[in-house]
């Protein structure tokens, strides 16, 4: 088991030869692309499922079923459909995070007080306007939780996806470390992934959430 | 006039964070060599898969020194893909994503049998040998006959070394524990086996190079059997070159050029082993960031031989052994369709 000094040295080595920067950049781009697709598809899908009985019975149960699948299940399919390229990795990332975004949004809209919707309807709000002015703003706190979860799932899925083939990326650095029995490198990459996770959670999502909570009167008692 | 509304810093920080990520992506990706990214494509491409392994030395050398590209000519682009395991390489080949692959005989035979003999042909050999039974230094294991009641590790269930172990212990009159025998077969990754050895959790391991040598040098192991000694003629196939049947039909001349270059590289390896060894190690360093130490490199290299003949008898032996261990549903039967050793379309 390598000590902290050993890990720091490995981290420095990865930084110095440029492989860490390149890997972080490529992995980050993959996560961002997959995550953007997940949010753009997942949020509307969650709202639709929550608002339509027919969709909930059909697509809703499918999504609930897919949630149980770990990302590595998608690897053979991704390989078969897309081949050895970035699209296959993107597919695995989307399949990993889309479902969790959809389910959280769906739950958020489900748990809205029906009073809001009824009041809006009484005032003649229908269709897209109802979604835009009532449903989305009212469920924003849980939508935010959903997309935050989606980010974490996207990272996990990416680590699985990057094992598909050898290309630049954090998942590959992790695997190289493992294959060569270089635990210091494995730990160094784990530190980097955790650091990115903490940064995103605290700086990006943490601030947004605290802002939204305050605006919704959900601040600390 | 109303004073400008104050913007909450909790809205600014996330935006700054996202911008930082964006800058990181743009900046970092610029650092990556442009040549590895998709650019203009020439008319024909040859997609070649190989592993970052010493047993794939002809591929390592052929790609690193541009020999394959030169053999194919300027009108054809060689697109090498590095993969980590045979089953994945074969999946990609079945999906039509790979045209040629350096791969172990077991995954190749499996893919051939699963596709009812349609997917691929073995067009050349590359490496032979390079696997050993390593025993703990303080054990009294001298050979397969001493494995009764022992814990023996293999890299992967159903992998080449696993099949070899099961085949040779059966010949010595033993059986694995789940089948009522006494030999406890433990699957684990090569790196994990090295760790298990250091912790004295296993008695022996059947592993490929360079792991067998690393166990000997780093974990106090002892090489009990060089697998080559168990095979007739002292040789068995470790790596072969396979071609996708569709590609072979369309571009027999390109496959021919690659087979010829493979043979030329193997001849060069035989003539100047030192230079070849270092060239292969240099490419390993490029691919995985780490080169093998000189000690491990030269010892592992001495356990391998490189030959352009795929050694059909040993491949048929492996297929038969895989069936006997229960890894294949039917007897492999005649494998003559698997080999395509003459020039021209299948």
pTM here is: 0.67
Residue of B14, B31, B81 with shortest CB distance to A84: B81
Residues B123, B242: one domain? yes
Chain A residue closest in CA terms to B194: A181
Crossing angle of helices B86-94 and A74-82, in 10° steps, is: 40
Chain A residue closest in CA terms to B188: A179
Residue of B14, B27, B287 with shortest CB distance to A207: B14
Q: For residue range A89-134, list pLDDT tens digits in order.
A: 899 999 989 998 999 888 888 888 888 888 888 888 888 888 888 8
CA B341 vs CA A61, B242, B264: distances in Å: 53, 11, 16
- With beta carbons less than 8 A apart as the criterion, state whether A19 and A25 touch: no
Chain A residue closest in CA terms to B82: A166
The tens-digit pLDDT sequence of chain B (346 residues) is 455 667 787 888 888 888 888 888 888 777 665 434 444 444 688 889 888 888 899 999 988 888 888 888 888 888 888 887 777 788 788 877 788 999 988 888 888 887 878 888 999 889 988 889 999 888 888 888 888 888 898 887 777 888 888 888 888 888 887 878 888 888 887 888 888 888 888 899 999 888 899 999 988 888 988 998 888 888 888 899 999 888 888 888 888 888 989 999 999 888 888 888 888 888 888 887 778 888 888 998 988 889 888 888 888 888 888 888 777 777 777 787 788 877 666 6
Please give the Cα distance from B262 to A134 (Å, whole number). Answer: 68
> Which of B176, B204, B233 is the C-terminal boundary of a domain?
B233
Asked whether the predicted pLDDT for residue A34 surpasses 90, the reply is: yes
Mean pLDDT of chain A: 85
Start-to-end Cα distance in chain A: 45
Q: Which of the 8 DSSP states describes residue B337?
A: G
Residues B108, B163: one domain? no
Written as one string, the DSSP assignment of A119-145 is: HHHHTT--HHHHIIIIIHHHTHHHHHH
Residue B319 covered by a domain: yes
Residues B54, B71: one domain? yes
pLDDT of residue A179: 67
Interface of B with A in 21-50 (CB under 8 A): 21, 24-29, 31-32, 36
* Interval A50-74 mean pLDDT: 86
Contact (CB<8Å) B25/A32 = yes
Asked whether the predicted pLDDT for residue A35 surpasses 90, the reply is: yes
Residues B245, B110: one domain? yes
pLDDT of residue B1: 47
In total, how many domains does chain B have?
2
- With beta carbons less than 8 A apart as the criterion, state whether B224 and B133 touch: yes
Per the structure, the complete domain to which residue B267 belongs is given by: 44-129+235-338
Residue of B84, B195, B290 with shortest CB distance to A166: B84
Residue B12 covered by a domain: no
Q: Tokens representing B152? A: 């023996």
Query: What values do phi and psi take at A131, rounded to 5?
Result: -65, -50
Residues B52, B199: one domain? no
- With beta carbons less than 8 A apart as the criterion, state whether A43 and A143 touch: yes
Contacts of A204 in chain B (CB under 8 A): 13-14, 17-18
pLDDT of residue A221: 62
Residue of A17, A18, A80 with shortest CB distance to B95: A80
CATH of the domain at B275: 3.40.190.10
Contact (CB<8Å) B21/A79 = no
Residue B308 covered by a domain: yes
Chain B residue closest in CA terms to A198: B17
* Closest residue by Cα to residue B64 from B276, B209, B295: B276
Residues B124, B135: one domain? no
pLDDT of residue B37: 44
ipTM greater than 0.90, yes or no?
A: no
- With beta carbons less than 8 A apart as the criterion, state whether B242 and B93 touch: yes
Q: For residue range A172-217, list pLDDT tens digits in order.
A: 888 777 766 678 888 999 999 999 999 998 888 888 888 888 888 7
């Amino acid at each position: 088991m390598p000590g902290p000094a050993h890990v720091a040295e490995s981290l420095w080595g990865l930084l110095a030869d440029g492989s860490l920067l390149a890997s972080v950049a490529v992995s980050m781009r993959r996560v961002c692309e997959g995550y953007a697709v997940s949010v753009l598809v997942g949020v509307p899908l969650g709202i639709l499922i929550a608002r339509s009985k027919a969709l909930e019975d059909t697509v809703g149960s499918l999504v609930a079923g897919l949630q149980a699948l770990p990302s590595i299940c998608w690897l053979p399919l991704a390989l078969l459909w897309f081949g050895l390229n970035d699209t296959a990795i993107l597919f695995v990332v989307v399949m990993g995070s889309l479902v969790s975004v959809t389910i959280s949004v769906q739950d958020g809209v489900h748990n809205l007080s029906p009073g809001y919707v009824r009041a809006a309807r009484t005032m003649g709000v229908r269709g897209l306007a109802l979604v835009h002015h009532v449903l989305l703003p009212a469920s924003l706190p849980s939508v935010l939780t959903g997309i935050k979860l989606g980010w974490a799932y996207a990272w996990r899925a990416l680590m699985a996806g990057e094992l598909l083939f050898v290309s630049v990326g954090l998942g590959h650095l992790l695997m190289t470390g493992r294959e060569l029995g270089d635990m210091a490198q494995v730990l160094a990459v784990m530190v980097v992934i955790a650091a990115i996770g903490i940064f995103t959670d605290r700086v990006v999502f943490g601030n947004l959430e605290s802002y939204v909570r305050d605006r919704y009167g959900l601040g600390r008692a | 006039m109303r004073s400008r509304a104050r913007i909450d810093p909790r809205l600014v920080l996330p935006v700054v964070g996202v911008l930082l990520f964006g800058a990181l992506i743009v900046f970092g990706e610029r650092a990556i060599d442009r040549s590895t990214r998709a650019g203009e494509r020439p008319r024909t491409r040859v997609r070649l898969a190989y592993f970052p392994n010493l047993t794939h030395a002809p591929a390592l050398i052929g790609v690193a020194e541009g020999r394959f590209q030169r053999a194919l000519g300027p009108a054809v682009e060689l697109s090498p893909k590095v993969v980590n395991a045979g089953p994945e390489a074969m999946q990609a080949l079945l999906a039509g994503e790979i045209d040629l692959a350096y791969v172990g005989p077991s995954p190749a035979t499996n893919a051939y049998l699963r596709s009812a003999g349609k997917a691929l042909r073995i067009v050349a050999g590359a490496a032979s040998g390079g696997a050993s039974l390593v025993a703990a230094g303080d054990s009294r294991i001298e050979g397969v006959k001493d494995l009764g009641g022992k814990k023996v590790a293999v890299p992967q269930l159903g992998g080449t070394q696993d099949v070899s172990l099961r085949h040779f212990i059966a010949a010595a009159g033993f059986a694995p524990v789940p089948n009522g025998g006494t030999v406890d077969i433990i699957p684990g990754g090569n790196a994990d086996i090295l760790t298990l050895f250091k912790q004295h959790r296993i008695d022996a391991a059947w592993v490929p190079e360079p792991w067998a040598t690393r166990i000997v040098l780093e974990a106090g192991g002892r090489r009990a059997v060089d697998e080559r000694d168990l095979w007739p003629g002292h040789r068995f196939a470790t790596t072969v070159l396979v071609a996708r049947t569709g590609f072979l039909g369309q571009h027999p001349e390109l496959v021919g050029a690659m087979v010829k270059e493979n043979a030329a590289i193997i001849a060069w390896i035989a003539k100047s082993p030192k230079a070849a060894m270092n060239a292969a190690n240099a490419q390993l360093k490029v691919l995985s960031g780490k080169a093998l130490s000189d000690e491990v490199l030269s010892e592992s290299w001495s356990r391998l031989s490189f030959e352009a003949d795929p050694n059909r008898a040993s491949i048929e032996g492996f297929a038969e052994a895989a069936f006997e261990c229960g890894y294949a549903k039917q007897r492999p039967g005649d494998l003559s369709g698997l080999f395509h050793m003459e020039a021209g379309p299948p």
